[in-house]
Structure 1
């Protein structure tokens, strides 16, 4: 089937097709995570996935195409892993602790995510920005909902969301990828104390006028 622009729709239409596409994405994560985008190859991906070359082109147009899809897929995996755990939070501040804790867990079992997302900055700038902008947007929504419940002081700003995300990203790199020996609960608790003292309902709101 083709769309109005004459391009073929490569969305899987069967459960088997979805399994094949998933196998290719998982193989791409291994290939690019190990070799990087430029050294990784379509043949390497299909070999890892146990698929024929023709199966690759059934679902993806090129190496760039599957890399772009992989960045979006990994971003979605993080969201889907973290989301249900955050839903169990006692309050807005605890939600950020659980968010970091679950992200550390994810990073430890998917260490390739850092190389893939970092390379996206140079391979596909739009996918790279979308990954971080959507993550920060979800954090900001949580903060504003917490503020409405009186769990966060002041009026949460985009800066708060990006600051928390930035902290999480580098803690994930240090304690998820480089060294996974420290308990994730401890890392998350220490980091969360900074948030609680900074924007918690009993702390300051991050406004310099209140310093």
Structure 2
């Protein structure tokens, strides 16, 4: 059996593989949907504007259309019941334990034995309704936490898309202003050279 180099790699191998693949949720408003379809256009129109300046005007028009005309209010995705965490998943998450080195394992076994001996000597009555109520509350709390994570993901994706598009808009506007100023200075310079 291969020896693992550090305790961190031991923990990494102890985790179930399905936890590495988390689903990310994005905004489903019409503006975000259209922008993800045509995400390649703003950079191309920006760089194309240096050759043909009407591309810059088209880029500004595209921004006005996508951000002002099309609906751009945040829209959350519909969540299926199987997307929510189940009680089994919560229990598996709580039961996962990193593999400890030998010395710590011996100490843990001694502690477990002491706790088991104490539990055998003082058995406490357990009611099933209390366990069911606490499990239901745990499930509700985990669903609430899941919904807050989804809402944070959706809001973050919406603002990221908006900021990305706005950055290309400002680049385009400054380039267009610079282009207009350059042409204006060239025309003034040519008129002065002809008058001299």
TM-score by length of 2: 0.30
Larger radius of gyration: 2
Could you say which structure has the greater relative contact order, defined with CA pairs below 8 angstroms and 6 or more residues apart?
2
TM-score by length of 1: 0.28
